[in-house]
A and B are shown apart, each in its own frame.
Chain A
Amino acid sequence: MKAVLQYVVLVGIPVLIVVGLLQIGEHFLRAPASVGGAWELELMPQSVNDLSCGDLPFQADQPVLTISQSGPQLRLSFNDEHHTTLAGQLKDLTITAEVVAPSRPAESPLALRATVDRQTEPNRFQGTLTAAPCGTTLSLTATRRPESDQLTGNH
């Protein structure tokens, strides 16, 4: 009898508390929108070769942006030779990111600002990419790659 009582107090009650906490979390907590994964980019204008932009990451044939997400914190990597990386934030469905500290002299200061439309197009986002040396702002449209095409590790 003592053993059963011990088990109920030490195990049973905490289990009930866990169940209660799960209910509370499920009903009251909201996590940021999911933007993690690989996104195929379309840029306007399509060719930026004529611009004196230096070593830009999106001059690749098929620019892909991989977003690693941890809550509102984002890390965005282009598929260029140097894997140019931007650090960013997600706030109210708006992504803002920039190259924090250029790792090499030719790297351009980049800034990205985009908005995700969760209601109509959750797998697309639109925004702008500003490259300081060009003195110009490019508009971009990103389409999320299907999960089966992506490497694991991002969600």
Chain B
Amino acid sequence: MPQLPTLLAQIGVILIVSRIVGQLFRKMHQPQVMGEMVAGILLGPSLLGWVAPGISAALFPPESLGYLSSLSQIGLVLFMFLVGLELDPQILRGRGHTALVTSHVSIIAPFLLGTLLALYLYPRLSDDSVTFTNFALFLGTAMSITAFPVLARILAERKLLRTPLGAMAIACAAVDDVTGWCILAGVVLLVRATGSATPLWLTLFGTAAYVLVMLFVIRPALRRLANVYERRGFIPQDILAVTLLLVLASAWTTEWLGIHALFGAFMAGAILPKQHGFVHALVEKLNDAAVVLLLPIFFAFTGLRTSIGLVSGGVMWFYCGLIILVAIAGKFGGSTIAARVTGLSWREASALGILMNTRGLMELVLLNIGLDIGVISPALFTMMVLMALVTTFMTSPVLEWIYFARPFPKEPIVTVETESEPEPYTDLAVGD
């Protein structure tokens, strides 16, 4: 492998820069993941390639990017499995209706605004290799996504997880995640079906069969894995290997079906038994490799594809500003109004709105898929990355201003009783 020294140097530089920038952002009371996302952009053509093109070309030669891409994809497969693993249907208990309505409104409101925006942007930022429907559906999905792991981390850091607001935010984000990824799978399916030899009905039938097999065949079988953990008190390497094989097989199946490997990885995590000890042990084994080593590579790879130079001129910056404005209005506004209608106070509803507006790395995952399948252009990709950064960055200070800065009128913060163990959503240490 002649590229090995280059690859090792790349990973080293990525780790150093992402840790340093991540720490700097922590000092600014931002999640570390925010800093790592920015670090990726700093290593790309937007900064390193601009100020030191020679160093950038030597460190990231185009022929070496295939290896970096493969590593980042493996990291994402692992990470999406961990995200799926964190989803527990128990969190919907007792608040199913409210969470469902709030969550679905928080999806459809930005989706609607995203589709309206697509009417304006399609002739201006797309081309005729992409149909309007695919473009609009993707833009709508990108506007609707919420970063479940980052949101959970912010709630944990703010000690809000066990408050009504925190419980509602987690439940909504969970429903958002599942719905958002289902919509994205549909969009990917539509886009790929356009140029695929496989008939659409076959792909749809295959997908339905896959979901049924996962839910009614694989899921019951997986309870045995959790039972082994219960008996022994640890996860043996054979069980870990079986779990990883399941993730790979599921990811391979959905990629083969045409709905992207990440959906399969997410599904594999979502169907695993949710005994907390088992989930905790599994996350502990996989989290560090995925989050500390592989995710920064994904951020760097994203940064290498993000060229702020493509957003040049007043018109392009106007489009970028419009995208950010619509994204915030749709997600923040939609979630706030829905939460208010379903009974939360304005203060809690707007806090929920700003939490749901956190897009973080889930948006970057989605945008990379969009760029890969050719549904968005490089310039639009860059604008959407900037939108993801702005909406993630604004969460902590705006939450502080909306929810914490003013004194509470009666009770300080009401906590809710749940059957689960304390802080069950903090295992996945994104931004730790």
Contacts and interface: CB of A to CB of B under 8 A. Distances in A.
A32 B378 contact: no
Interface string B167-210: 00000000000000000000000000000000000000000000
B104 A11 contact: yes
Interface in B125-175: 125-133, 135-137, 140
B331 interface: no
Given A7-B104, A26-B131, A32-B128, A18 B377 contact: no
A135 interface: no
Interface stretch (A47-55, A107-115, A146-154): A146-154
A14 B128 contact: no
Q: Which bracket fits the contact residues of B? A: 35 or more
A151 to B, nearest CB: 7
A110 B136 CA distance: 37
Nearest to B129: A34
Given A6-B342, A155-B374, A71 B101 contact: no
B119 A29 contact: yes
B127 A18 contact: no
> For the side of the interface on A, what is the size category?
35 or more
Given A25-B118, A32-B123, A75 B310 contact: yes
A22 B310 CA distance: 28
Contact of A25 (B104, B109, B122): B122
B129 A155 contact: yes
A22 B112 CA distance: 10
A95 B137 CA distance: 29
A83 to B, nearest CB: 8
Interface of chain A, main secondary structure: mixed
B235 interface: no
A30 B128 CA distance: 7
B211 interface: no
A86 interface: no
B29 to A, nearest CB: 34
A26 B128 contact: no
A34 B310 CA distance: 17
Contacts of A73: 316, 379
B426 interface: no
The 3 A-B residue pairs whose C-beta atoms are closest, nearest first, are A155-B374, A70-B379, A34-B129
Interface of B: 62, 65, 97, 100-101, 104-105, 108-109, 111-112, 115-116, 118-119, 122-133, 135-137, 140, 305, 310, 312, 316, 338, 341-342, 371-372, 374-375, 377-380
Interface of A: 3, 6-7, 10-11, 14-15, 17-18, 21-22, 24-26, 29-36, 68-73, 75, 87, 151-155
